[in-house]
Amino acid sequence: MTTPTPPAFPSRLPNVGTTIFTVMSALAAQHKAVNLGQGFPDFDCDPKLVDGVTDAMRAAHNQYPPMPGVPALREAIAGKIAALYGHTYDANTEITVTAGATQAILTAILCCVGPGDEVIVLEPCYDSYVPNIELTGASVVRVPLTPGTFRPDFDKIAAALSPRTRAIIINTPHNPSGTVWTPAEMQRLQDLLAPTNVLVISDEVYEHMVYAPLQHESVARYPGLAARSFIISSFGKTYHVTGWKVGYVAAPAALTAEFRKVHQFCVFTVNTPMQVGLANYMQDPAPYVQLPAFYAAKRDLFRAGLGHTKFRLLPCEGTYFQCVAIDGLGVPERDLSEADFCQWLTREIGVAAIPLSAFYGNGFDQKVVRFCFAKKDETLRAALGRLARL
């Protein structure tokens, strides 16, 4: 008997395959390498947070919450934004809890972008942006950040703006480079967009990982940007619980109304006990206030160890990613492409990294790879011991 075959249909994402993060994590497991590729901690969250979620489940918070999110959590989010960035969002009409930041980004794009529109992305960029835009039928307009420094080039951004531009996606602190936008850059973006109707989708998931003397320049600090922006953040990044997939969006009421129209038919809402646990945990700001110092210590440990290798360290102003140039290594490794080098490093040295070329649509190769230092100190030391061979 012949096995029936599924009906054929045109792919919505014909150019998308398995992500580089999945590929490198599988290779790391195969070769028992230290995985500094995919961006997740290998240490536990605060037990108090787990206890809070457990308490919420035992207190019968196990049914659907309100579609926008548990009111106490939305109020805590609005309070945090007001305290840190001086902008007041209404918890009822301007804050929405999401199933992680990636869902928030997709929903923000779906609610305002359609066929014929253009959306600007600044490359290198997080890998969900472009497929999300393509799913709407809109056109992706790629504008490169300045190679080497990864700072925004506002002349190129201005040149990319057109009557069809619906939105621009920005990301600070920036994944993969660790660059943090300055007040002058935020002001420049505000001035550039002032005469337009362009929306901003501001990916701020690493907002609490900015290292002294810098501070996070949320678009919430800039009234002209806040009025046109969806701000996206992630509890997974902030509280070391990436697997929980809980994030949020802050946006003016008119934008939030459109966002929620799509959100309710994407996921409807987000699991209740974790929302209740997070709301209670947020009453103490210490965990996110202390996070920059926590990760700065890991960054400094890792950078000090890398100083004993032939890698050339790029600045790390924020996030938990450290980029390095490989052009100073010995032959033949320095002549490999970024992708081939990461494969070689995983197989032969036993440390996994991510090529920056994976964050560019055209695979632009500048001999730079990215490590994640959101790991236990002993994990970082183990990786540094292996990298010392370079």
Last residue of a domain, one of 261, 283, 305: 283
190 and 278 housed in the same domain: yes
Same-domain check for residues 347 and 274 = no
- Least confident segment among 12-26, 291-305, 317-331: 12-26
In a shared domain, residues 324 and 357: yes
Domain that holds residue 67: 47-283
Statement: residue 165 has pLDDT above 90: yes
pLDDT in tens, 52-85: 999 999 999 999 999 999 999 999 999 999 999 9
Q: In the predicted model, is pLDDT for residue 1 greater than 80?
A: no
Per-residue model confidence as pLDDT tens digits over 123-158: 999 999 999 999 999 999 999 999 999 999 999 999
pLDDT at 331 over 80: no
Mean pLDDT lowest among 81-95, 132-146, 162-176, 329-343: 329-343
CA distance 59 to 283: 19
Residue 7 lies in a domain: no
The rounded distance, in Å, linking the Cα atoms of 251 and 240 is 25
Is 173 within the bounds of a domain? yes
Residue 9 lies in a domain: no
User: What pLDDT score was predicted for residue 174?
Assistant: 98
Look over the chain and give the mean of its residue pLDDT values, rounded to a whole number: 96
196 — alpha (psi -120 to 50), left (phi > 0) or beta? Answer: beta
pLDDT of residue 38: 87
Q: What is the CATH number of the domain that holds 342?
A: 3.90.1150.10
Residues 192 and 325 in one domain: no
pLDDT attached to residue 333: 74
Instruction: Work out the pLDDT band at 328, boundaries 50, 70, 90.
Output: confident
Parallel/antiparallel/unpaired status of strands 229-234 and 321-325: unpaired
User: Could you tell me which residues are beta bridge partners of residue 342?
Assistant: none
Judge whether 231 and 217 are in contact, CB under 8 Å: no
Contacting residues for 287 by C-beta, under 8 A, at least 6 apart = 46, 238, 239, 281
384 band by pLDDT with thresholds 50, 70 and 90: very high
pLDDT band with cut points at 50, 70 and 90 for residue 35: very high
Q: Are residues 309 and 190 in the same domain?
A: no
What pLDDT does residue 55 have?
98
End-to-end CA gap in the chain? 57
Per-residue pLDDT band at 116 (split at 50, 70, 90)? very high
pTM comes to 0.96
Domain check: are 266 and 312 in the same one?
no
Report the C-alpha gap between 259 and 59 in whole angstroms: 31
Q: Quick one: pLDDT at residue 363?
A: 94
pLDDT tens-digit readout, 191-246 = 999 999 999 999 999 999 999 999 999 999 999 999 999 999 999 999 999 999 99
Chain mean position to CA 154: 22
Looking at the fold, whether 101 and 187 belong to one and the same domain comes out as yes
Q: Which pLDDT value is given to residue 17?
A: 82
- Domains in the chain: how many in total? 2
The one-letter amino acid code at 254 reads A
Per-residue pLDDT, 235: 98
Q: Is 153 left (phi over 0), alpha (psi -120 to 50) or beta?
A: beta
Amino acid type, 60: A
The answer to whether residue 13 is domain-embedded is no
Question: For 293-297, what is the mean pLDDT?
Answer: 98
Assigned domain for 193 exists:
yes
Does a structural domain hold residue 12?
no
331 in the same domain as 274: no
Q: End of a domain among 258, 283, 308?
A: 283
Residues 253 and 106 in one domain: yes
Reduced to 3 states (helix: H, G, I; strand: E, B; else coil), residue 144 is strand
**pLDDT of amino acid 332:** 79
Residue 204 lies in a domain: yes
Share of the chain above pLDDT 90, in %: 93
- Asked whether residue 175 carries a pLDDT value surpassing 80, the answer given is yes
> Are 272 and 308 contained in the same domain?
no
Residues 227 and 81: beta-carbon distance below 8 Å? no
CATH code for position 107 = 3.40.640.10
Examine the domain organization and report whether 274 and 335 are in the same domain: no
Across the strands, what pairs with 313? 324
Q: Does 335 share its domain with 373?
A: yes
Among candidate residues 255, 283, 311, the one where a domain is terminated: 283
Q: Say if residue 172's pLDDT is above 90.
A: yes
Average pLDDT, integer, range 38-51: 95
Give pLDDT, residue 2.
82
Q: Is 302 within a domain?
A: yes
Angle at 59 between CA 55 and CA 61, to 5 degrees: 100
